[in-house]
Amino acid sequence: MNSESSSSESHARAAMDSMYRLTRHVYDLTRKYYLLGRDHLIRKLQPGPEDKVCEVGCGTARNLIKMAQTYPQARFFGLDASTEMLKTANRSLERKGFLGDIRVGHGFAQSFDPRVLFGVTEPFEHFVFSYALSIIPPWRESIDHALTLLPSGGAMHIVDFGGQEKLPVWFRRFLFWWLSKFHVYHKPEILNYLQRLELEKRGTLTVQQLYGGYAYYAVFKKV
């Protein structure tokens, strides 16, 4: 890693820790009202026996715990840029009896090494991005990195904010304004980029609009 990348990631870690130092304590309580579609992703995930699933931006481990409860035959891992958020994640894992079974660690979506972070030498079959790409500045690099780590037939599962196409204009404007206060942004360019990767024959893309366009669920399967 060059010094510029290291400096950028150190800045990102400090910013994320500052943002979540207090809000991590009420994160799950408040986010359940607007991070819609996360459970839809979990239902659609359907990992095979012993499949390895890695959530990028795992936060409090809320999704990881639900996935492990739903698919006990699979193996789950998570990384987050905020060490503050990982404190809550580890407490949640301990409280739910998954500490040690679900492994979480500090890392950055665009550069983490599964061997170093988790001691994993075999590729992950699934990557999950649940409302993560809308807050990650290097979202393109994060997608590319996950795609590099996936084997042929592996998949990225993404749920994130949509364009609110079928919802009132006032609601869309308010939501995007409010999200910007937390450095979260609707990024239509994410789907455009995945479509380009499909045209380049790097995988196949399926997209499902949820809740009138409030959110979308996308799966990119590597060829």
Per-residue pLDDT reduced to its tens digit, 103-153:
999 999 999 999 999 999 999 999 999 999 999 999 999 999 999 999 999
Residue in this structure with the two tokens 């404190």, named with its chain if needed: 87
Range of the domain at 27: 3-222
Higher pLDDT, 71 or 13: 71
Higher pLDDT, 28 or 173: 173
What is the model's pTM?
Answer: 0.86
State pLDDT tens for residues 190-219.
Answer: 999 999 999 999 999 999 999 999 999 999
Residues above pLDDT 70, as percent of the chain: 85
Provide the domain count of the chain: 1
Whether 5 has a pLDDT exceeding 90, the answer reads: no
State pLDDT tens for residues 176-197.
Answer: 998 888 888 899 999 999 999 9
CATH number at residue 205: 3.40.50.150
Higher pLDDT, 117 or 21: 117
Q: How far apart are CA 199 and CA 204, in angstroms?
A: 9
Q: How far apart are CA 75 and CA 124, in angstroms?
A: 10
The DSSP string of 124-172 is PSEEEEES-TTT-TTHHHHHHHHHHHSPTT-EEEEEEE---TTS-HHHH
Whether 54 has a pLDDT exceeding 90, the answer reads: yes
Q: How far apart are CA 171 and CA 186, in angstroms?
A: 14
Q: How far apart are CA 87 and CA 16, in angstroms?
A: 13
